[in-house]
Amino acid sequence: NLVGLTALAQTELPQPVGFASLLLGYSKPHDLDSRLGYGAEIGLRMPNQVTAFGYFLASAAKQNNVDANVSHYGVGGDYKFDQLMGLRVGGSLGMVNESTYSAAFSFGPHLAWDYDLAPNLTLGIEPILMFDTGTRSGSTLYVLATGRFLF
């Protein structure tokens, strides 16, 4: 039916939504003291509730009068469960740098919960566990408050 095909062709498809997030909270690198953690994410949320993003996470502190800076960066993805009021589950792959060790591969799962404050603004919490390989094998735990702006 030509009328039905014309109407279908004129139907707007849902578009991906870009976002930028700032993260701030607690971090606990393997064998180092807990300290302030912070980071940023930028990415796309697809119409099917799948999100793809790039991330940067870091923490900096002195331990025994030596700089003990840790940073993670890479790509990640997650799925948002609308029926569970903003729960997101996913994972990340990337690199880890520490001030006293060379770069190595890192990976790990994350959970997140977002609360919609406005159509383009959410606040939430995001526990992230990164497993680090290489010379400094171990893990880093981040528990971060998130602010996400959708554009």
Tens of pLDDT, residue by residue over 44-98, are 988 888 999 999 999 887 777 777 788 999 999 999 987 888 899 999 999 998 8
Within 8 A by CB and 6+ apart from 118, the residues are none
State whether the Cα torsion 78-113-60-101 is positive or negative: negative
At residue 8, the pLDDT reads 56
User: 88 near 81, Cβ under 8 Å?
Assistant: yes
Q: What percent of the chain has pLDDT over 70?
A: 87
User: 130 near 106, Cβ under 8 Å?
Assistant: yes
Confidence check: pLDDT of 9 > 60: no
pTM: 0.83
